[in-house]
Amino acid sequence: MQPPRLRSAPGPRALTKLDVLAVVGTLLILGTIFVVMFPFARNHQLSPRMICMSNLKGMGTSFYTYGNENNDMWPVCAPIKAVDDGKLRVTYAPNLIGKNRDVPDDTLIARASGGELKTSVTRNLWALVRMQIAPPQLFICPASNDTANNDSNPLQHWDFSKWSEVSYGYQVPFGKPGRPSSDRDQRMVLAADKGPFSAALEAGKPNPGPPTAAENDPSDKWSAWNSHNHGGEGQNVLYAGGSADWQSKPVCGLGYDNIYTRWSDATGGATTAGDNPPIRVHGTPPTGTETPMSDTDSLIYP
């Protein structure tokens, strides 16, 4: 009888297409996790910046919710135009945030004397809190030193109580043109981190003066005119279309418009030499009575 034939050990099993797909899928999942988590591990400052951007997107949703019930107009409290046949002027700074927070709009208008009405820009943002469309916490940038309003009954008030209870600025809505609305050019900036001029007017911080950097200068040249919220590195901005992103310079409006200044000219420099004239890039810093020059002139305050 012949001895039994020895069988050779089985070789490795060939990979099937399903095996390959499973491996590739696993690698893709791990790669995605790495890509998402690595920036946070590399730079812990990114997280507050992302939360800040998310806040602005939430504000955009709130503006649209308000607009749906108000002919696409975003909040405009005490809606008297800055210039009504040359008879009326609105003063919105300095030291007006919270000053009339217990006075309703109609009473404010009745109090206006000498053709002047004094009211804050933040009063318009508070309308979202008062109408329970947005909570006070939504208006705080985590990279700032601001703290949320904690009134037990916000419906009793008409404004934030102070500058440090709101981290974001809003398109100055008191002029004839440029009022914040869903109908504005979707690329137009209508809200953003608080600007450097409001920090000077409302909190006594150093005033950077009129901008001198050029639109094509590196971002570090613009640090003095960026928001203080992020240490002068830049600001998150909200567009009329509802999207938000990070901008390292304030010249991020239409046609390199400086979002924290008003055009220095009613044309925005459209008739002067050059594609991006300083009249729009630099503009006129706010003192408390300036309003947008056109429907595409961003003027964010505070």
* Max CA pair span of the chain: 125
Comparing 69-83, 129-143, 176-190, 286-300, the range with the smallest average pLDDT is: 69-83
Question: Residue ranges of the alpha helices (H) in 121-234?
Answer: 122-130, 196-203
Q: Using CA atoms in the order 228, 173, 125, 224, what is the torsion angle rounded to 10 degrees? A: 0
| The predicted structure's pLDDT at residue 188 | 98
* Average confidence (pLDDT) over 103-116: 79
Asked if the model's pLDDT at residue 270 lies above 80, the reply is no
| The predicted structure's pLDDT at residue 90 | 86
CA distances from 168 to 45, 184, 238, 288 (A): 19, 19, 10, 17
Asked if the model's pLDDT at residue 254 lies above 70, the reply is yes
pLDDT tens digits, residue range 288-297?
999 999 999 9
CA distances from 17 to 14, 23, 29, 120 (A): 10, 10, 18, 66
pLDDT tens digits, residue range 41-77?
444 555 899 999 999 999 999 999 999 999 999 999 8
Looking at per-residue pLDDT, the higher value among 202 and 111 belongs to 202
How confident is the prediction for the chain on average, in pLDDT?
Answer: 86
| The predicted structure's pLDDT at residue 59 | 98
Asked if the model's pLDDT at residue 32 lies above 80, the reply is no
Looking at per-residue pLDDT, the higher value among 17 and 280 belongs to 280
Q: What's the pTM?
A: 0.83
Q: Going by DSSP bridges, is the β-strand pair 189-193/235-239 parallel, antiparallel, or unpaired?
A: antiparallel
pLDDT tens digits, residue range 233-253?
999 999 999 999 999 999 999
